Amino acid sequence: MTTVTSPLAGRAIGLANVPDPVFSGAMVGPGTAIDPVREPTTAVAPVDGLVVSMHPHAFVVMDEDGHGVLTHLGIDTVQLNGEGFELLVSKGDQVKRGQPVIAWNPAAVEAAGKSPISPIVALEASVEQLGAVAESGEVATGGELFTWN
């Protein structure tokens, strides 16, 4: 079983409340979302593993069991063309849970007209594989978001 922890501090809101139909409909996969604290922050790795995908606004870490966890920083943030995001690791790097991955400012994303709400998704998983999914309440960076069987 994999425990997925929060890459960000904020409030868990569940995927159904993400203002994007692809995420809210769990088309990318099941998981949850964080409405992050509005201050400069660093998104951290939600699991130990290999960075298999890296973009200014999103990254995927795959653990040793082959579970890929997507962290998507904000909604439609690809349209910001990387502005305001600083990559701290590279695709192909091994990371440890809690290791800084991307520095960004949710308040600046919001000021640019985008939602800073950040989905954390279990790629290629079914809803039945996830347990103890955090869908409400305050979450600290590194707090448990869900388990993946």
Out of 55, 57, 67, 72, the active site residue is 72
Does the annotation count 72 as an active-site position? yes
- Strand-pair category, 58-62 with 94-95: unpaired
Query: Residue 74, CB half-sphere, CA atoms under 13 Å: how many?
Result: 30
Residue with tokens 């192909």: 92
| Separation of alpha carbons 120 and 23, rounded Å | 9
Let me know if 71 is exposed, middle or buried by CB neighbors in 10 A (0-12, 13-18, 19+).
Answer: buried
Question: Catalytic residues, which ones?
Answer: 72
